[in-house]
Structure 1
Amino acid sequence: MSTIAEFQIPASDMAMSSTLEAAPEATLELESSVSKTLPSLWVSGATCETIERAFAGDPTVESFELVASSDDRLLYDVDCERAQRRYDELLTSGGSLLEGRGVDGWWQFKMRFRSREDLVDTHERLEEQGVTVDLIRVTDVTTVSTANTRLTPEQHEALTAAFEKGYFKIPRQISMEELASELGISHQALSERLRRAYGTLVDAEVQPANEQSNS
């Protein structure tokens, strides 16, 4: 059963420590992606001039390019070999990145691991390399309360992963095959879990209404 871990790593052990120091008001967020390459960075809390000056002065940043902007955020493609290396290490044991944020000198992560053992392997490997890993919260999917739901733990896990990975968004951000791979199950097994979960949720919503109308 999968495990959700929330932890933080000092930017000095990760990457872009100089950027976060030069732009202390900035928050860097990894863009959601199903790819195994380093996602782009959304920047908030700093102007284009400030963050680009910070990137330019950061020895861990090889290059950067502004690719999109909105009223309050900037999206950059950033070439950072050290960040890429750390990112690959986080995924080595089958981890899946759900959230990643750089702020106040730290990189904060939320990750899904196929088992607690995979989390332990990742933690030990990073610490052996001298990386400080500060675990904040660890939650096994089986510990999620089912007092108010008839979903099985497997159905709950599948629905949660589908929601977090953008399976229900338009357009979809992950395919059924990719999601099944993330969970370590077959495409057919995932399809069956989701169909049964949909049926359970619809039954829970529709049946009480029908009972009331027939009473």
Structure 2
Amino acid sequence: MGLVAEFKIHCEALPLVEVAATVPEATLLLDLQFNHGNRPLFLVTVTGSQPAAIARALTHAFDVGEWTLVGQAGETRRYQVLPALSLEEQLGDHITNLAGLKGLATADAIIERIEVVADGWRQTGWFANRDAFRTFSSFWQRNAGFRLHRLTQDGESEPPGEGLTDRQREALRTAYEMGYYDIPRRATLEEIATDLDISASSVSERLRRAQTQLIQETVATTWPPLPD
């Protein structure tokens, strides 16, 4: 069964991030049309901002070549945007492994939603398996910033971890992002504690309690019981 992931890529060099930063009150949803050579055409759906503000932001953005309003329904507007730069030109000074970036396009994954924000992209995607997700997340961890918000199996109505406290969830997420669960381990409890501004013993306790909660919600509920 596939996986559904919600995550954020922290990279201010990504396309249209400047536009999102200029009009922070707007919600920008992005569709990439990759069948337009080395400069994929963007379709941008915008809500929550005055048309004049979006027009100014698009006109002055360094990575926008041409833009056209192609549709409007109530407060929602859709724009077609021709980039001024190829992805290589836009990201080349920020991402060292451009070949790896191109390789993500052939991964067993479908990015279903891209929201452009002031410091990167928030995305929701479907991944065929954990290896496909690991390839994707590892690339962005190495080349920019990657924060996982939710990872569930395709078709799950209630994701595991709903019983976690906010502090347990924060500790788990920080430990994961810093590489504590990688093999080999890339972070220590002390390093995670420094990031969270608490003691290492407190980190250890939060992680143990969070892991116990996750086991109770997943493995321990398996029926019939697992064989001895």
TM-score, normalised via structure 2 length: 0.54
Q: Residue in 1 aligned with 2:14?
A: 14
User: Does the residue aligned with 1:112 lie in a helix, a strand or coil?
Assistant: strand
Moved more, 53-62 or 95-104: 95-104
Note the C-alpha offset of 1:38: 5.4
CA distance in 2, matches of 1:82, 1:61: 12
Note the C-alpha offset of 1:11: 5.0
Q: Residue in 1 aligned with 2:195?
A: none
1:12-161 matches, cutoff 5 A? 12-31=12-31, 40-80=43-83, 81-82=86-87, 90-128=104-142, 130-141=143-154
Is the 8 Å Cα contact of residues 29 and 101 (structure 1) preserved in structure 2?
A: yes
**1:84-135: CA deviations, max 9, x gaps?**
989966533121022221235442111001111101001122333x221111
Note the C-alpha offset of 1:10: 2.7
Is the 8 Å Cα contact of residues 7 and 146 (structure 2) preserved in structure 1?
A: yes
The one-letter code matched in structure 1 to 2:133 is L
CA distance in 2, matches of 1:3, 1:51: 35
CA distance in 2, matches of 1:2, 1:40: 27
User: Does the residue aligned with 2:113 lie in a helix, a strand or coil?
Assistant: strand
CA distance in 2, matches of 1:38, 1:115: 29
CA distance 1:76–1:90, shift in 2 (3 Å): farther
| RMSD over equivalenced CA pairs, Å | 3.2
Note the C-alpha offset of 1:62: 2.0
Q: Residue in 1 aligned with 2:169?
A: none
User: Does the residue aligned with 2:151 lie in a helix, a strand or coil?
Assistant: strand
The one-letter code matched in structure 2 to 1:19 is V
CA distance 1:95–1:11, shift in 2 (3 Å): same
CA distance 1:89–1:110, shift in 2 (3 Å): farther
CA distance in 1, matches of 2:108, 2:77: 30
Give aligned-pair identity as a percent. Answer: 22
CA distance 1:142–1:51, shift in 2 (3 Å): closer
Gaps of 5+ in 2: 92-97, 159-228
Is the 8 Å Cα contact of residues 13 and 132 (structure 1) preserved in structure 2?
A: no
Is the 8 Å Cα contact of residues 41 and 77 (structure 1) preserved in structure 2?
A: yes
CA distance 1:125–1:41, shift in 2 (3 Å): same
Note the C-alpha offset of 1:141: 3.0
**Number of residue-to-residue matches in the alignment:** 144
CA distance 1:32–1:22, shift in 2 (3 Å): closer
**1:140-171: CA deviations, max 9, x gaps?**
238667xxxxxxxxxxxxxxxxxxxxxxxxxx
Is the 8 Å Cα contact of residues 60 and 82 (structure 1) preserved in structure 2?
A: no
CA distance in 2, matches of 1:64, 1:94: 31
Gaps of 5+ in 1: 146-215
